[in-house]
Amino acid sequence: MLLGASGAGKSTLLAALAGLLDPSHAGDAEGLLTVDGRDPRDFRDRTGLVLQDPETQLVMARAGDDVAFGLENRATPAAEIWPVVDASLAAVGFPYGRDQRTDQLSGGEQQRLALAGVLALSPRLLLLDEPTANVDPAGAGLVREAIGVVQRRTGATTVLVEHRVAEALPLVDRVIVLRSGGGLLADGEPADVFSRHGDQLAESGVWVPDHPLPVRRRVVRPANSPEQSLLIARHLGFRHRGATKQALADASAELHAGEAVAVVGPNGSGKSTFATILAGLRAPTTGAVRATAPLAGDDTAIPPHRWRATVLADRIGTVFQDPEHQFITGRVRDELAVGPLQRGTPAGVVDRRVGALLERLHLTHLAEANPFTLSGGEKRRLSVAAALASDPAVLVLDEPTFGQDQRTWVELVDLLADHRDAGGAVCAVTHDEAVVTSLADRVLTLQDGGIASTAEAVG
């Protein structure tokens, strides 16, 4: 297992091992890299690679054709291709036939199909870059099982980059930690590395198994003070255009001031649809969202999805899964100033607030940078800060901690908890168990487009 904080060079090393980097195109390349004594580029046909984004791991429109793709490229005789395809699909537990459309698979199924494509080529080196990062917990378990199958069938040496270490430990017997800025921080058996360097690794952002995370539940509310509702969703239903199935059906829930709600459930259960409707970004096909006076002032008769965008951003801030979708300026500083300037805040006040936010999120040194050039963790922090800059009472987030190293994770949880403790409401769609444990006061579980349960967090 290859570990290291964001930007330590894990993905670059993996690409180099895969023979996908051309030293002659590099700005600066030094040192020697061999795979089985050869240049990695000469070992390519014995190397299997699976990256984190399921959508771009598949090439063909039908599952069987996709597994066959690598065999065709390797000029395997046509008669030998299909038996190998069928055996590979069966080995990874792919639940459909050859003709299954690849665009109708869940993220976990797509990753298992990509693994079948790798298995078909019987690699001796297996390179995996966060293969479960985009997959819900149940799907991720099946993907890890499939990785185990590929390892056993091929006997391949595996190099696995993974943020979430604990779940992936059964797949590895050695841990290498890259140091930010070059060199190694640790190299050895997992138990040894984590017991000896655990604190230091956690400090640098690596997810260390069993390392304690801060718990930021709200201070207990006095039993006699009633909850102040901010948003009330009643019987929400939503059907995508052309779809036969309801993405959301009869979902009712309330969001209160001073609470953090986690929305959980498997992929496709309607979590994101629910969140976007609650956030006033989409009109429900049935049912309605109502905002109460503390949130909407005189606008309580108008549902949030009909509010003007500037008004909406002042009341409900939404943070999307991909931060790049929300960047609207060319400078980090401007990105934070847009919201307050729109509502007519004086420039001097805006400057001070932007300065404070930059300081708080350790982005001051990047104030003049283009948002698109930041690292993953920096982009995430910036997108949350940009939503907070307009000072909305409600904050809705879609997978806010996805793919973040531990340091950024802790900062995000602190940021959201502070917003909640200042009287705001947080509604976070998440697969991340740790977010639920550390932050959530209440958990909404969605299943097949409906709210299966709502529970006060315990502990």
Partner 1 sequence: MLDVHTVAVPTGWLARANPVAKLAAALVLGFGAALSDDAVTPAVLVLLILLILAAGGVTAVDILRRGWPLLVSAAGLGATTLLFGDSPTPLLTALTVTFRVVAVALPGVVVLLTVDPTDLADSLVQNAHVPARFAYAALAALRLLPLMGAEWQTIKAARRARGIDAGRNPLRHVELFAGTVFTLLVGAVRRGTRLALAMDARGFDATGPRTLARPQVVRQSDVALVVGAFVLLATAATVSIAFGTFQPVWA
Residues that bind partner 1 (CB under 8 A): 15, 18, 20, 44-45, 47-49, 51, 53, 55-62, 65, 68-78, 81-82, 85, 101-103, 114, 117-118, 121, 276, 279, 281-282, 308-310, 312-314, 316-320, 322, 324-328, 338-339, 342, 372, 386-387, 390
The CB-of-349 to partner 1 minimum distance in angstroms stands at 17
User: Which residues partner with 346 through β-bridges?
Assistant: none
Give the DSSP letter string of 141-184: HHHHHHHHHHHHHH--EEEEE-S-HHHHGGG-S-EEEEPTTSSE
The CB-of-328 to partner 1 minimum distance in angstroms stands at 6
The runs of H, that is alpha helices, within 209-306 are 271-278, 293-296
User: Which residues partner with 363 through β-bridges?
Assistant: none
User: Which residues partner with 263 through β-bridges?
Assistant: 429, 444
What gap in Å lies between CA 412 and CA 109, rounded to an integer?
30
The CB-of-114 to partner 1 minimum distance in angstroms stands at 8
Return the number of the residue (67 or 249) whose C-beta is nearest partner 1.
67
The CB-of-431 to partner 1 minimum distance in angstroms stands at 18
The CB-of-426 to partner 1 minimum distance in angstroms stands at 15
**Contact at 8 Å (CB) between 387 and 395?**
yes
Written as one letter, the residue type at 41 is R
What gap in Å lies between CA 378 and CA 354, rounded to an integer?
16
Return the number of the residue (109 or 441) whose C-beta is nearest partner 1.
109
Return the number of the residue (44 or 218) whose C-beta is nearest partner 1.
44
Return the number of the residue (18 or 175) whose C-beta is nearest partner 1.
18
Strands of 425-429's sheet in order across = 316-319, 394-398, 425-429, 260-264, 442-447, 450-456
The CB-of-38 to partner 1 minimum distance in angstroms stands at 16
Return the number of the residue (108 or 190) whose C-beta is nearest partner 1.
108
The encoded tokens of residue 9 equal 């060079």
Three-state SS at 432: coil
**Contact at 8 Å (CB) between 171 and 140?**
no
**Contact at 8 Å (CB) between 381 and 6?**
no
Q: At a CB cut-off of 8 Å and minimum separation 6, what does 224 contact?
A: none
Distance of CA 296 to the CA centre of its chain: 31
Return the number of the residue (44 or 234) whose C-beta is nearest partner 1.
44
CB atoms within 10 A of CB 106: 17
Choose among 213, 199, 181, 161: nearest CA to 403.
161
Return the number of the residue (76 or 180) whose C-beta is nearest partner 1.
76
Return the number of the residue (101 or 221) whose C-beta is nearest partner 1.
101
Distance of CA 363 to the CA centre of its chain: 21
Choose among 335, 314, 324, 340: nearest CA to 424.
314
Backbone angles phi and psi of 166, in degrees to 5: -55, -50
The CB-of-116 to partner 1 minimum distance in angstroms stands at 12
Return the number of the residue (339 or 377) whose C-beta is nearest partner 1.
339
Return the number of the residue (328 or 452) whose C-beta is nearest partner 1.
328
What gap in Å lies between CA 48 and CA 447, rounded to an integer?
35
Where does residue 267 rank: exposed (0-12), middle (13-18), buried (19+ CB within 10 A)? middle
The CB-of-222 to partner 1 minimum distance in angstroms stands at 34
